[in-house]
Structure 1
């Protein structure tokens, strides 16, 4: 066999297939030292090109791929191999906080979907006074053991960072009936909140996940959905939520009955907000994130490198 052909075979097995030199030597019926020489010769003769790619190169590639596939502005957060999950989460939140501060301006209205990620983002904000700005709560709240929901702290931290006024939505996330929702939507406070959300400049959120009809925390914390309601979400194909408005795998909301009983925002109003920043960390979020992307809910995506790779996979 031609030496170059032998070198290419050895290189393909070693670099592409990840096989050991001993295994390659056995297959090619040569010594291990011969395999080493073949690999060295392949590099010297230009049959193999080895490049060490810096993190920024990898990140740029991921951002371009996400933008091309999903038509969004992507900000991918580099994470070294072996970075613990909590540090990935904090890095992602810090990058998102920087984007929000960069984007927020005077006279702007920022709508927030409370949750663990937005809570983490609120702890990484830097001060940027924005005259005549507002923070509006996008979805209702629930009970907690202390009687004070953590959305209050989130709103206060955003308000403090930007010197902004706050518009709350002090109604439960889940209501007992569609009729209850219709009544609440007519309340002046809710009408004000809905009007402000419809005119918002920015919307910040993380997708929630639904697994076999069961929404993830914190939606279940302090809320008492029963098995019939879990069954309805499962039957309707709910795979995630955007500010407690449930979506199916195609990003549609109209087929899910539970949306008639939540205080999540009107999807049409959300889609009218110019910048819709979704911040996501964790491979378990990918199905729900994909649904939100298909539904057009995202214009800007902040995502860690590991989750971004899974999203593109």
Structure 2
């Protein structure tokens, strides 16, 4: 009545024999649950041009969120999270296994998910969240719970630390049947949703601010020339990652295997994450990218500044591999 028949709320209230405020609440509920989705076609919008440029340069489906440069980092994240939640929902299908990473960005996204009823699907945690100060269960489980609630999906947590103290411990744990059950779900993922972690982000990535890494770990990351991470698996700006020592102790998904997932949705907010984003794109980790306009402009500009005759580097290979 409101959107298709152009009736006013007063007219709808009279026809339904209810109050105008009830009609207003129903319209709000329709938007919140995804029954109604609103799009704006702005002829002066720069986002579509940036999306096309990112698509051509990096081979990903890009969604650029218009955000003014004057907006704070926290407000920009909120706007990107709202758009990401609305973009993600139509991509979710029944009989799916959906891997979800934890972090500041995904936490924000999870608060704005619109409900979509899918059947026989599973939300699986991509990486452990425990450290020496906390189990991480409450933080990570809240993100997973919101995803499961939005899509009516089962939730499978991964109750292991984010990083083991020793690589040998990880190898032993990965042979345990209870752990292998979760790993098997991850290996059969049809969709993965994640952000990009960065040490220098305007809003610090949770893995760097939440007590997961000590000074020795950070020094090792600097020595390995790490620019960012996806689900606590680290990489360099050229996408190489296989010889990074901390990855041997991380409980995140193997990045080579992550690239095999059919749909990989990356959400990024903040121009300070640009080096991490470039590394993730060089590693071929994303099929879909949702990011703010300033980051999109910077990404396109850096790509344009690169020398066209420079030899391409192989994504996912280490310096030693090359």
Shorter chain as denominator, the TM-score bin is 0.7 to 0.9
Cross-structure match for 2:186: 197
Deviations 1:32-88 (A, max 9, x none): xxxxxxxxxxxxxxxxxxxxx956541110000111111100000112452333222
Deviations 1:256-296 (A, max 9, x none): 01101110111122111011110001011000000000000
Alpha-carbon spacing, 1:270–1:148, altered in 2? closer, same or farther (3 Å): closer
Which of the numbers 165, 171, 178 marks the counterpart of 1:176? 165
Q: Distance in 2 between matches of 1:218 and 1:146?
A: 14
Cross-structure match for 2:280: 292
Pairing 1:132-281 to 2, within 5 Å after superposition: 132-143=120-131, 148-210=137-199, 217-223=205-211, 225-281=213-269
CA contact (8 A) 1:210 1:238 kept: no
Q: Distance in 1 between matches of 2:248 and 2:135?
A: 28
* Mapped pair 1:125 → 2:120: no
Cross-structure match for 2:4: none
Q: Distance in 2 between matches of 1:258 and 1:163?
A: 35
Cross-structure match for 1:21: none
* Mapped pair 1:68 → 2:56: yes
Pairing 1:49-88 to 2, within 5 Å after superposition: 54=42, 57-88=45-76
Q: Distance in 1 between matches of 2:44 and 2:134?
A: 44
Q: Distance in 2 between matches of 1:198 and 1:160?
A: 23
Deviations 1:178-223 (A, max 9, x none): 1011012112232122211121111100111145xxxx54114453
Tell which structure's C-alpha radius of gyration is larger.
1
Alpha-carbon spacing, 1:220–1:142, altered in 2? closer, same or farther (3 Å): farther
Q: Distance in 1 between matches of 2:199 and 2:73?
A: 21
Q: Distance in 2 between matches of 1:62 and 1:228?
A: 39
Alpha-carbon spacing, 1:268–1:70, altered in 2? closer, same or farther (3 Å): same
Deviation at 1:145, TM superposition (A): 6.1
Q: CA RMSD of the aligned region, Å?
A: 2.0
Cross-structure match for 2:91: 103
Cross-structure match for 2:304: none
Gapped regions of structure 2 (runs ≥ 5): 1-40, 302-322
CA contact (8 A) 1:281 1:303 kept: yes
Q: Distance in 2 between matches of 1:246 and 1:81?
A: 29
TM-score w.r.t. the length of structure 2 is 0.75
CA contact (8 A) 2:199 2:208 kept: no
CA contact (8 A) 2:115 2:150 kept: yes
CA contact (8 A) 1:140 1:169 kept: yes
CA contact (8 A) 1:197 1:269 kept: no
Q: Distance in 1 between matches of 2:150 and 2:135?
A: 25
Does the residue aligned with 1:219 lie in a helix, a strand or coil? Answer: helix
